[in-house]
Amino acid sequence: MSSAKKSSAGQCPTQETDTIFQRIRTQVQKSSSNTYIFFVFGASGDLAKKKIYPTLWWLYRDGLLPENIIFIGYARSALTVEKVFQNCEKYMKLQDSERDLYKKFISINSYVSGSYDNPKDFQRLHNEANKIAKEETANRLFYLALPPSVYGSVSELISSNCRPKEPAWLRLIVEKPFGKDLESSNNLSKHLSKHYKEEEIYRIDHYLGKEMVQNLVVLRFANRIFSRVWNRDSIAAIIIIFKEDIGTQGRGGYFDEFGIIRDVIQNHLMQILSIVAMEAPRSTKGEDIRDEKVKVLRRIQPIKMEDVTLGQYVGDKNSSNEEHRKGYLDDEGVPKDSKTPTFAQVVMHINNERWDGVPFILRGGKALNEKKAEVRIQFRDMPGSMFEVDGEKTARDELVIRVQPNEAIYLKMNNKRPGEMGFRVEETELDLTYNERYQGVKLPDAYERLILDVFMGHQINFVRSDELEEAWRIVTPVLSEIDDKNNKNVNVIPYPFGSSGLQEAFDICSKYDYTYSGTYVWKDERSNSQTSPPKKNDEANSLKTVERKTLRSDSSAAVKKTEQSGSTSKK
């Protein structure tokens, strides 16, 4: 059977995926006979060691990079290549059989130490790069894995001192945060546009490299079943959630200046929102998609303080987990009186024909009970329904796009209780869990995809300056209120490390017509009943959990019984 046939049956698309990567490989490798130089600025730092170097290694190992490539790390610290790789080793996921190739990879790396503001250091770097590459026309990619405070000087000095000779190109990859508010972001954009053409700038938001985020465009615009209901007539509310089960882990110094809204909501979650809410682009071309994303952002009003819930995690003294016993204020670098939010929920309103009246609730938090990112599209109640469950309305349908972990799309829906007489309704799901449906398919890491995009000159998954400006316009007014330490309107509520969120945030969801009954539990969460929102009254919570468990064991017993009698086949 040909690989295409296998894949269309949905059984084994692995070979086809390999072909796609083969195509990428050929495209990247053929795109120029030149040498490529990949510069990692901030090579001594956290992002470089955890993400950038490991990604470069995986791409190199898998043969996805051009053959003539060299890597140059740059930072102020007096390091060597050996030391850089010692720092990264634990993140490389190295197999014994890869050792020889890994040595080869290390051998094409160099390290240059220098300042971020002295032109002489950049001239020296330029000369060194020409020397190592043995040519002046190598294409150059610069990854700025640096604190934003030095973006200005570094980007300017690269442009004026490190450009290759034509016809070679230069591409600059800039990490978020792109500014701190509308003004500083606009200043950074102006600064960059003075020194670079827009097509040379790649503002990275790694959420745009995630499989399920990329899938949103296909899910929305290749399925008539969704396109007809994707609007205010059918949808009651949309929630976009980011949860992490770790605290700031020593990055508190950076985090305290930014807070969770700048860290994940203004960028990752708003990028997801813009794809979920945009109109159909003219084509799948990058500029068409980015045009539509900006258009929908333009229709969002700035967030109001009354639509914001903020929290900061505190240590859970009773936890057996040592990390959980420490609060945000215990992190090194965090001022002891900091009010920086580590949890936030904001509600956004899109003022257009499609979305008027539909709340978009964006929620992000650190030090919660689990790591998870997902989009929940909750449909309105079934009008004129003849069904009820225990005297109450049947549950609403909800489409869930699970971004991570364990990528899945599932549609929560009502179903006749299998095996029973009559029309008793039970909540269940249509389930597309990737690791079951697409067994053996490798989903590349977000950074792998995005770095490949840069090599290929594809800007589709990078943030354009007008998108950025709109995103900052929407969040800047509440950020300035939050930053104002004397503002009495700002209430940052403490929550224990490991909790599922803030009750106050869930209350706002109910106010905005997002209903959560707690009667449905997704299969990944069945063993972990903590994922439901906290109840005000713990007793009520445990009662509900018991009820839910009983309900489910009832139904599985019913299925079992009928299975035994041979009348129902197992799903």
Ligand X SMILES: O=C1O[C@H](COP(=O)(O)O)[C@@H](O)[C@H](O)[C@H]1O
Residues of the shown chain interacting with ligand NDP in the complex, contacts defined by CB under 6 A:
42, 44-48, 50, 75-77, 116, 145-150, 175-177, 254
Backbone torsions φ then ψ of 425, nearest 5 degrees: -100, 140
**Closest CB to ligand X among 377 and 450?**
450
Which of 181, 263, 397, 429 is the binder for ligand X (CB under 6 A)? Answer: 263
Q: Quick check: 368 binds ligand X (CB under 6 A)?
A: no
Residue nearest to ligand NDP (CB): 45
Of residues 372-391, those binding ligand X (CB under 6 A): 373
Give the span between the Cα atoms of 357 and 233, in whole angstroms: 10
Annotate 420-446 with DSSP letters as a single string: -SS--EEEEEEEEEHHHHTTT-----H
> Phi/psi of residue 132, each to 5°?
-65, -40
Closest CB to ligand X: residue number:
263
Judged by CB, which is closer to ligand NDP: 175, or 397? 175
CA distance 168 to 224: 44
Restricting to residues 507-566, name those near ligand X by CB under 6 A.
none
Check binding of 426 to ligand X (CB under 6 A). Answer: no
The 3-class secondary structure across 104-172, one letter per residue, is HHHHCEEEEECCCCCHHHHHHHHHHHHHHHCCCCCEEEEEECCCHHHHHHHHHHHHHHCCCCCCCCEEE
- Beta carbon of residue 550, minimum distance to ligand NDP (angstroms, whole number): 43
- Cβ neighbours for 184, distance < 8 A, ≥ 6 positions apart: none
| Rounded alpha-carbon distances, angstroms, from residue 382 to 386, 391, 394, 414, 451 | 9, 15, 8, 11, 45
Minimum CB–partner distance for residue 267 and ligand X (Å): 7
Contact 76, 43 (CB under 8 A): no
Q: Which does 294 bind (CB under 5 to 8 A by kind): ligand X, ligand NDP, none?
A: none
Q: How far is the CB of 557 from ligand NDP (least distance, A)?
A: 47
Contact code string over 314-353 relative to ligand X, x by CB under 6 A: ----------------------------------------
Q: Which does 47 bind (CB under 5 to 8 A by kind): ligand X, ligand NDP, none?
A: ligand NDP
Taking the complex as a whole, the smallest distance from the CB of residue 365 to ligand NDP amounts, in Å, to: 16
Please list, residue by residue across 328-349, b when 16 or more beta carbons sit within 10 angstroms of its beta carbon and e when fewer do: bbebeebeeebbbbbbbbbbbb
Min separation Cβ 263 and ligand X, Å: 5
C-alpha dihedral over 8, 12, 14, 20, to 10 degrees? -10
Distance separating alpha carbons of residues 194 and 171, to the nearest angstrom: 15
444 binds, among ligand X, ligand NDP, none (CB under 5 to 8 A by kind): none
- Quickly count: other Cβ atoms within 10 Å of residue 561's Cβ: 12
Nearer to ligand X, 251 or 299 (CB): 251
Give the one entry of ligand NDP, ligand X, none that residue 264 binds, where binding means its C-beta sits below a cut-off of 5 to 8 angstroms depending on kind.
ligand X
Q: Does 265 bind ligand X (CB under 6 A)?
A: no
When the beta carbons of 112 and 239 are compared against ligand X, the nearer one is 239
Binding mask 178-207 for ligand X (x = CB under 6 A): ----------------------------x-
Residue 532 tokens read as 């439901």
From ligand X, ligand NDP, none, which one binds at residue 286 (CB under 5 to 8 Å depending on kind)? none
CB contact set of 40 (below 8 Å; sequence gap of 6+): 48, 52, 53, 56, 71, 72, 73, 74, 143, 145
Smallest distance, ligand X to C-beta of residue 280, A: 28
Q: What are phi and psi of 262, to 5 degrees?
A: -75, -30
CB of 148 to ligand NDP, least distance (A): 5
Of these partners, ligand NDP, ligand X, none, which one is at the site of residue 175 (CB under 5 to 8 Å by kind)?
ligand NDP
Q: Which of 268, 324, 349, 458 is catalytic?
A: 268
Smallest distance from ligand X to CB 254, Å: 8
244 touches ligand X by CB under 6 A: yes
Residues 469 to 508: which contact ligand X by CB under 6 A? none
Task: Pick what 116 binds: ligand NDP, ligand X, none; C-beta below 5 to 8 Å, kind-dependent.
Answer: ligand NDP
Residues 6+ apart with CB under 8 A from 320: none
Report the residue number, 262 or 372, with the smaller CB distance to ligand NDP.
262
Rank residues 207 and 512 by Cβ distance to ligand X and give the closer one.
Answer: 207
- Residue 291 CA to residue 301 CA, distance in Å, equals 18
* Residue 173 binding ligand X, by CB under 6 A: no
**Among ligand X, ligand NDP, none, what does residue 344 contact (CB within 5–8 Å per kind)?**
none
Nearer to ligand X, 373 or 521 (CB): 373
Q: Does residue 445 belong to the site contacting ligand X (CB under 6 A)? A: no
Two tokens, residue 291: 């045009």
Shortest distance, position 463 Cβ to ligand NDP, whole Å: 13
SS3 content of the chain, % helix, strand, coil (to 5): 45, 20, 35
Which among ligand X, ligand NDP, none contacts residue 263 (Cβ within 5 to 8 A by kind)? ligand X
Binds 244: which of ligand NDP, ligand X, none (CB < 5-8 Å by kind): ligand X
From the CA atom positions of the chain, what is the Rg in Å? 25
Of 70, 160, 164, 60, give the one whose Cα is nearest residue 108: 70
CA atoms within 13 A on the CB side of 342: 32
Minimum separation from the CB atom of position 332 to ligand X (A): 16
Name beta bridge partners: 365.
243, 343
Does the footprint of ligand X cover residue 264 (CB under 6 A)?
Answer: yes
Annotation marks residue 191 as catalytic: no
Q: Kindly report the backbone phi and psi dihedral angles of residue 558, in degrees, each rounded to the nearest multiple of 5, phi listed first.
A: -60, -45
Helix/strand/coil for 502: coil
Q: Which residues contact 218 (CB under 8 A, 6 or more apart)?
A: none
Q: Which residues contribute to the site for ligand X (CB under 6 A)?
A: 206, 244, 263-264, 373
* Catalytic site positions: 268
